[in-house]
């Protein structure tokens, strides 16, 4: 781009409020726990993701409903990536307008995906600020991690605005590393059971023969927030805890780049428990340290899914953020990405979070519960947490007080769960929190649960006890669904895909109902630290309950 043209564009776009430019619904800007370092050098590169408007979203949603509903003639007739691309691909006009806009500003280093609905472009910060008036790129640090984000809202020309859902890489910041809790060490003389693969197999009735055997089955975990696993930890974990059942001791494929340094407790937990529950199943790890400080790892993962035709059938993700910290436009687009995965037969499992019902403080006597996303998405299966009634024995399970759950303030309740949620609300009317705390018409979660308390994990070659969080329960459920997929595929049946419509039709069949305990909520006079409570059938703390593997297998094979 010559200097005269650059000067002209700079002058033309310099006013954020000038006519012809529109702002997007944008996320909350940088939280206070990031330290501002300063404005980035104008020549420094940033990488932005342009989410192009897709087509046929209503048809995509209806297709997902049909292929996921066991009562439909289309059940299990999943689409290929190419078929998904043909369905949602942006119009020719959208693609031309966006590309010409980028090219007119001298942005040429772009790559697309197979579905053609994302463009990833690298440019200088100076050029990005011209392209997106109002944006101003600065560096921030927290916990030795550095990111580059815009400190102000951005806008685009109104002719382009209608062709984009959002531009990624400007505002969203990684949430703090998920709170994988390590409890205090018991005093001398105390006995503690501790959850290991053998304990999980005993509780959920998995035998030594309940392991994977098929060649066309695989599972995956996705890691963000600079979380990495160490192969030596996995090998040691399996040597310690995997002696009673056939298993793999190595990950088959790493997508992305494993960072150096210490292993993350979160990553170690995810890998070790999906591979010991979904034993002998080929396992992938998606990891994204980010090539640029401007990258958003979660969004990068979603873009990857749109660009890979061969993917594992089950993905478990221990990642989330408060709904109210994200823009509706961003969440709606991610919902579309979840639907794109679901119509391909991919099961996405998200941890429900470790803050119970959560709490948003909005002034005196104005607290509300605080739902988490993607846990609140209607298009994923969300997994809550439980603990043993008696921690010294393999007994029945009760609510783990940290188990995330509640009702979305953004997404309406999907039809597949309306009856179950209505039944819960009617049966516990007398003990419900005040309705000002939650949205009774929102998507309710979790959908199911598993043990989330007192796990043993090997990390950095050290066995660590008493690790807790729904980061534990989610890969455990994912591993069992992978085993069920293996059985289905061996019988010529399709993969489970988006599980929720079928799960809610089972009405708890194949699951241990959890009926005791409450999770945490706002610590105030009205609810006094209590959120929702477990109840017979579905509830917003443990969903339908925890897996009884042989019964769930039978129910999902029929």
* Mean pLDDT, range 188-197, rounded to an integer: 66
| pLDDT given for residue 1 in this prediction | 47
Token pair belonging to 130:
């011209």
What pLDDT is attached to residue 189?
Answer: 38
- Count structural domains, the chain: 2
* Share of residues in the chain with pLDDT > 90 (%): 68
My answer on whether 460 and 530 are in the same domain is yes
**Domain C-terminal end among 168, 185, 205:** 168
Asked if omega into 374 is within 30° of 0 (cis), the reply is yes
Which is catalytic among the residues 376, 471, 473, 482?
Answer: 471
Peptide bond into 446 cis (omega under 30): yes
Give the CA count within 13 Å in the CB-facing half-sphere of 300: 24
**Mean pLDDT across the stretch 174-181?**
51
Computed over its alpha carbons, how large is the radius of gyration of the chain? 24
Does residue 82 belong to any structural domain of this protein?
no
User: Which pairs count as long-range contacts for 231-238, CB under 8 Å and 24+ apart, including other chains?
Assistant: 232/461, 233/263, 233/268, 233/272, 233/458, 233/459, 233/460, 233/461, 234/268, 234/271, 234/272, 234/275, 234/458, 236/458, 236/461, 237/268, 237/272, 237/276, 237/457, 237/458, 238/272, 238/275, 238/276
Residue 38 above 60 pLDDT? Answer: yes
pLDDT at 428: 93
Same domain for 258 and 400: yes
Q: In the block, which residue shows the tokens 């529950």?
A: 277
164 and 301 both lie in a single domain:
no
Mean pLDDT value of segment 364-391: 94
Residue 264 maps to which CATH number? 3.40.50.200
Kindly indicate the confidence band of residue 173, based on its pLDDT and cuts at 50, 70 and 90.
low
Report which of 371, 535, 516 is spatially closest to residue 437, judged by C-alpha positions: 371
End residue of a domain, out of 168, 186, 208: 168
In the set 270, 293, 323, 447, the catalytic residue is: 270
Q: What is the DSSP letter of 59?
A: H
More confident residue, 148 or 206: 206
Residue 145: what pLDDT?
Answer: 75
Confidence of residue 302 (pLDDT cuts 50, 70, 90): confident
**Residue 133 resides in a domain:** yes
Q: Are residues 492 and 387 in the same domain?
A: yes
The verdict on 143 and 211 lying in the same domain is: no
- Shared domain check, 209 and 142: no
364 and 415 in a single domain? The answer is yes
Residue 253, Cβ neighbours under 10 Å: how many?
12
- Does residue 151 share a domain with residue 228? no
pTM: 0.91
Q: Do 265 and 341 fall within a single domain?
A: yes
Cα distance between residue 473 and residue 452, in whole Å: 5
Sign, CA dihedral 161-164-166-167, equals negative
pLDDT tops 80 at residue 363:
no
Residue 159 counted as domain residue: yes
Tell me: do 157 and 243 sit in the same domain: no
Name the catalytic one among 129, 266, 296, 354. 266
293 is catalytic: no
* Domain span including residue 524: 197-557
**Quick check: is 64 in a domain?**
no
Residues 297-304 have a mean pLDDT of 84
Q: Does residue 108 fall inside a structural domain? A: yes
Give catalytic status of residue 135 as yes or no: no
Q: Residue 553 phi/psi, 5° resolution?
A: -60, -50
pLDDT of 18: 38
Domain co-membership, 353 together with 484: yes
The string of pLDDT tens digits covering residues 94-104 is: 999 999 999 99
My answer on whether 156 and 205 are in the same domain is no
Q: Average pLDDT, stretch 73-92?
A: 97
Domain boundary among 149, 168, 187: 168
Catalytic residue at 270?
A: yes
Is 185 inside a domain boundary?
Answer: no
Most confident of 257-271, 283-297, 532-546: 532-546
pLDDT digits (tens, 9 = 90+) for 491-537: 999 999 999 999 999 999 999 999 999 999 999 988 999 999 999 99
Q: Is residue 139 part of a domain?
A: yes
Mean pLDDT on 417-444: 95
Tokens matching residue 160: 């382009």
Does residue 180 lie in a domain region? Answer: no
Residue 391 has pLDDT above 90, yes or no: no
């Amino acid at each position: 781009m010559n200097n005269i043209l650059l000067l002209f564009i700079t002058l033309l776009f310099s006013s954020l409020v000038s006519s012809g430019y529109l702002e997007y619904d944008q996320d909350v800007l940088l939280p206070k726990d990031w330290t501002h370092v300063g404005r980035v050098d104008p020549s420094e590169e940033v990488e932005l993701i342009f989410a192009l408007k897709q087509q046929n979203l209503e048809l995509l949603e209806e297709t997902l409903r049909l292929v996921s509903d066991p009562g439909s003639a289309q059940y299990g007739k999943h689409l290929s990536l190419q078929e998904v691309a043909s369905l949602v691909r942006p119009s020719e006009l959208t693609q031309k307008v966006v590309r010409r806009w980028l090219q007119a500003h001298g942005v040429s280093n772009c790559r697309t995906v197979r579905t053609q609905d994302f463009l990833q472009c690298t440019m200088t910060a100076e050029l990005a600020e011209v392209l997106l008036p109002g944006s101003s790129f600065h560096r921030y640090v927290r916990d030795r991690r550095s990111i580059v984000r815009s400190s102000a809202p951005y806008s685009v020309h109104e002719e382009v605005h209608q062709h984009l859902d959002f531009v990624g890489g400007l505002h969203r910041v990684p949430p703090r590393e998920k709170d994988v809790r390590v409890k205090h060490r018991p005093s001398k003389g105390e006995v503690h059971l501790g959850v290991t693969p053998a304990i999980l197999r005993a509780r959920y009735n998995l035998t030594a023969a309940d392991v994977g055997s098929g060649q066309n089955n695989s599972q995956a975990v996705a890691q963000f927030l600079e979380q990495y696993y160490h192969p030596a930890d996995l090998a040691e974990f399996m040597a310690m805890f995997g002696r009673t059942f056939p298993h793999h001791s190595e990950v088959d494929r790493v997508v992305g780049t494993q960072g150096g340094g210490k292993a993350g407790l979160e990553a170690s937990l995810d890998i070790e428990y999906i591979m010991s529950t979904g034993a002998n199943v080929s396992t992938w790890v998606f990891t994204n340290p980010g090539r640029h400080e401007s990258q958003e790892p979660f969004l990068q993962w979603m873009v990857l899914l749109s660009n890979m035709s061969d993917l594992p059938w089950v993905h478990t993700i221990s990642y989330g953020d408060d709904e109210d910290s994200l823009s509706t436009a961003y969440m709606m687009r991610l919902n579309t990405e979840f639907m794109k995965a679901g119509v391909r037969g991919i099961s996405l499992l998200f941890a429900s979070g470790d803050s119970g019902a959560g709490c948003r403080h909005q002034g005196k006597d104005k607290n509300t519960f605080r739902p988490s996303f993607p846990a609140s998405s209607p298009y994923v299966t969300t997994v809550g947490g439980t603990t043993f009634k008696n921690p010294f024995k393999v007994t029945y399970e009760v609510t783990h007080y940290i188990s995330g759950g509640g009702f979305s303030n953004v997404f309406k309740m999907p039809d597949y769960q309306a009856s179950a949620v209505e039944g819960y609300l009617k049966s516990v009317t007398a003990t419900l929190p005040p309705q000002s705390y939650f949205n009774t018409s929102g998507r309710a979660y979790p959908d199911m649960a598993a043990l989330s308390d007192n796990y043993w994990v090997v990390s950095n070659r050290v066995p660590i006890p008493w690790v807790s969080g729904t980061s534990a329960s989610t890969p455990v459920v994912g591993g069992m669904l992978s085993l069920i997929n293996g059985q289905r595929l061996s019988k010529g049946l399709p993969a489970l895909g988006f599980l929720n419509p079928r799960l809610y039709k089972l009405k708890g069949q194949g699951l241990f109902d959890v009926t005791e305990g409450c999770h945490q909520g706002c610590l105030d006079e009205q609810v006094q630290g209590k959120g929702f409570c477990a109840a017979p059938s579905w509830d917003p703390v443990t969903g339908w309950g925890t897996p009884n593997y042989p019964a769930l297998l039978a129910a999902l094979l029929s």
